[in-house]
Amino acid sequence: MAPVLEVEHLARSYRANLSLKKYWILRDLSFTVERGEIFGFIGPNGAGKTTTIKLIMDLVHPDAGAIRILGEPHQSVAVKKRLGFLPENPYFYDYLTAEEFLDFYGRLFGFSREERRKKTTAMLERVGLANRRDRQLRKFSKGMLQRLGLAQALLNEPEFVILDEPMSGLDPVGRREVRDIILSLKAAGRTVFFSTHILSDTELICDRVGILSKGELKAVGSVSDLLGHQVSHWEVAFSGIDPGSLPGILAVVSREGSETLATSRDEESMKGLVRAILERGGSLHSVIPQRASLEDIFLREIGR
Amino acid sequence: MKGLILVLLGALAAGTAAVHVEGLRGGSAPGYHLLYLPSGRSLKALTLGYEGLAADLIYIWSIQYYSNYQIQDRYDYLDQIYRRVIAELDPHFLDPYLVGSMIMSVEANRDDLALKLLDTGTRNNPHEWILPFQAGFLCYNKLHDYACAKDYFQRAQAVPGAPAPVRRLYAEMYNRLGDKRTSLRYWAEIHDTADTDYVRQVSWMHVHDLKIEVDLDDLNAIVRRYHEEHGAPPAGLQALVRAGLLESVPLDPDGNPYTLSPDGATVRSQARRLLQGR
Amino acid sequence: MTRIWAIASNTFREAIRDRILYLLLVFALLFMGFSQILSLLTVGGEEKIIKDVGLACISLFGVLTSVFIGVALVSKEIERRTIYTIVSKPIHRYEFLLGKYFGLVLTLFVNTSVMTAWYYLILFLKGFADPRLLLAIGLIFMELLLITAFAILFSSFSTPILSTLFSLSLYLVGHLTWSLNLLQERLKGAGGRAICRFLYFALPNLEIFNVKAEVVHQLPIPATLPLWALLYLVGYGGAVLAAACLILRRRDFT
């Protein structure tokens, strides 16, 4: 199957006012997004994630490189019929009501009045704003605006959905709702590309991630590939024995009364520690292998 | 509370200052800077397509200004305001020409400026009879300059749509200038083309009296000729007929013959003049 | 086409819901009423004054509306980033721009109509009504359309403050191009005269749309003038809008 998004050697620079020096925001960025997957685009603030998304959405022109969406050149107006987009911290016409707002976008898609009515109602239901349809947007909270933003992004039942920091500013409930929507999109066979700097969200739902730092793609691949199957260290919880005398301890994480949580570097030292605890008559509470978290990988990659 | 006191103090201070400044400026009319307006095209440039409105506003201001008798030297800028500003901004605005010329003539006693203003108005509005008429009337009524009046009235009566009295005044000016013959000719035309009884009557009165005087002039001239040729005045008008200088003794407009005075010097008519004060 | 209309009707809706518009309109109506007071202060010329003030109000408030709303049409969308979700839909950027333009045109039309109706009522009650005034207002409306095109052009690349300055300056210049002809007569060198001539045609000549004097003084207006004026508007305005579309197309919404 052809990739849904192909980014090839994308470059973008900017010049500070009146100076001749160019600053590169993106250099030679290349990646693809396959059909039906959820792709997480992660990176620290200022890495160039929003710029990349703006380039994909033809809001900004690249210095070099090519972008293809669903096989078409990304500027094609026709292909935008099959896209959905939610920008970061979106601003909308605050003088419109929720219903007028979605109706307006429906007209941009060329839907008939009947279609607009149906889709507007369906979308408002889906994002939980059905009882606010007559309220002006200027009275919406940030969470409500974000949900409405999702509604306009999904109004045309797009094949490919692009979201820039969709979870930003939301409380845990809101974040969970957005995650659920993204998963439901995947279940319906759509492709989702979203950027975020909150790693826990990505770990939970993404099929693949790309780590962007200072305009370069440091790593890209499926979550499990990146994390590896390796165990990075072991966590051992026990009580009744002073840890200072035990072998195989890499570090003591915490001590509370007689309860200790310690780490061991590898399986060998872990076994040595467990044996020692048992031999000396201590109580073993838990032994848990720790895999590298995405955060570890992330911090490692952006440090490179 | 403090804020309110500040506001009141501020208002008091500003009000006092405003009142004093007004006193300092010495009782000039508001908008007196308009007296120093540039004229002509530079002013037109300033108004950006709103010249008509600008002319209106300046005209309204001028009415207030010139009706304020407390301003001593307000007539110094009459020409500037009316002819060089308002007329330049809106040449077709008629009221300033008329009112301005009246102010100039009646109040400021500057008939020369009034005529200049009306001339400008006539030049800009060749199809308006009232402007040359007003100028003619000024010459006639105030200056008693009948030659000037005659020229203006001629101009005025030639404009299509000029009311009939203008032509009558025109005809009468010739009389005032002493050219009774031309006056008679025009009055006769007016009489022949009269379409109301009133006009017919009035014009007849002029024709009547003028005819008598023209006839008298002619006859007196013939009498003098007779005198020169024959060395002695004629015995009567019949003598002139016998001498071949007249076809017949002419009749005055009432139908009565003219007579010669006993000393044979002047021809007379027993007809009563219809117009008083001639 | 429907997309342009969607943007246009939305722009119209935004303008209608903006209270500034009502302020301007109320002022305009008050001013026309003010002309009644003016006629108390004058000797003669009442009809002319009321007509002049009315036409000036319609013209001036139209220009103010056109400029103050027009210069923010595009730049506000870019600055507030409301444009992101619009341009990402299947719509050309030029359709967006034209939609904004026609939305403001519709607003101006409604404004002008309201003012004209009020104006005509005043005139009718006084017995001064003259259908040729509608011709003058029609041409004023055309002038507003051209000014709006310029306001949008500036809006596509400049901030509202600068755009306002540019637009108002252009309005000034547009009513002064006749002075270039005068200047040309005074200049000695052929180069200078050529520049004058060129500028006279290159700069927008807004006096073409000004028949206020002719209408108020019952002077004749050539029958073909409105048609030529329309052609001028379509040609010049079209070019300006096209330039705005080109600029917007190349713009980066950073």
Question: Residue A159 has what pLDDT?
Answer: 94
Question: Residue C89 has what pLDDT?
Answer: 92
Pick from A239-253, B53-67, C25-39 the range whose average pLDDT is largest: B53-67
**DSSP character string of B116-138:** HHHHHHHHH-TT-SHHHHHHHHI
Of C45, C207, C219, the CB nearest to B49: C207
- Could you tell me the pLDDT band of residue C172, with boundaries at 50, 70 and 90? very high
* pLDDT above 60 (res C174): yes
Chain A residues within 8 A of C80 when measuring between CB atoms = 91
Question: Residue A102 has what pLDDT?
Answer: 93
Q: C90, A60: Cβ pair inside 8 Å?
A: no
Q: HEC states along chain A?
A: CCCCEEEEEEEEEEECCCCCCEEEEEEEEEEEECCCCEEEEECCCCCCHHHHHHHHCCCCCCCEEEEEECCEECCCCCHHHHEEEECCCCCCCCCCEHHHHHHHHHHHHCCCHHHHHHHHHHHHHHCCCHHHCCCEHHHCCHHHHHHHHHHHHHCCCCCEEEEECCCCCCCHHHHHHHHHHHHHHHHCCCEEEEEECCHHHHHHHCCEEEEEECCEEEEEEEHHHHHCCCEEEEEEEEECCCHHHCCCCCEEEEEECCEEEEEECCHHHHHHHHHHHHHCCCEEEEEEEEECCHHHHHHHHHHC
* pLDDT above 60 (res A291): yes
**Which has the closest alpha carbon to C146: C104, C200, C176, C177?**
C104
- The DSSP code for A207 is S
**Chain C closest-CA separation from residue B66 CA (Å):** 12
With touching defined as 3 or more inter-chain CB pairs under 8 Å, the answer for chains B and A is no
User: For B196-251, how does the pLDDT look when each residue is reduced to its tens digit (9 = 90+)?
Assistant: 999 999 999 999 989 988 888 888 888 888 888 888 888 877 888 888 888 888 88
Quote the mean pLDDT of chain A: 87
Question: Residue A228 has what pLDDT?
Answer: 67
Mean pLDDT calculated for residue range C231-248: 95
Tell me if chain C has a CB within 8 Å of the CB of A229: no
User: For B87-141, how does the pLDDT look when each residue is reduced to its tens digit (9 = 90+)?
Assistant: 999 999 999 999 999 999 998 899 999 999 999 999 999 999 999 999 999 999 9
Question: Residue B29 has what pLDDT?
Answer: 57
**Chain C closest-CA separation from residue B19 CA (Å):** 25
With touching defined as 3 or more inter-chain CB pairs under 8 Å, the answer for chains C and A is yes
Of C82, C91, C250, the CB nearest to A108: C91
Q: C49, B56: Cβ pair inside 8 Å?
A: yes
Subunits in contact with chain B (3 or more CB pairs closer than 8 Å): C
Q: CA B9 from chain center: how many Å?
A: 60
**What's the predicted TM-score (pTM) here?**
0.82
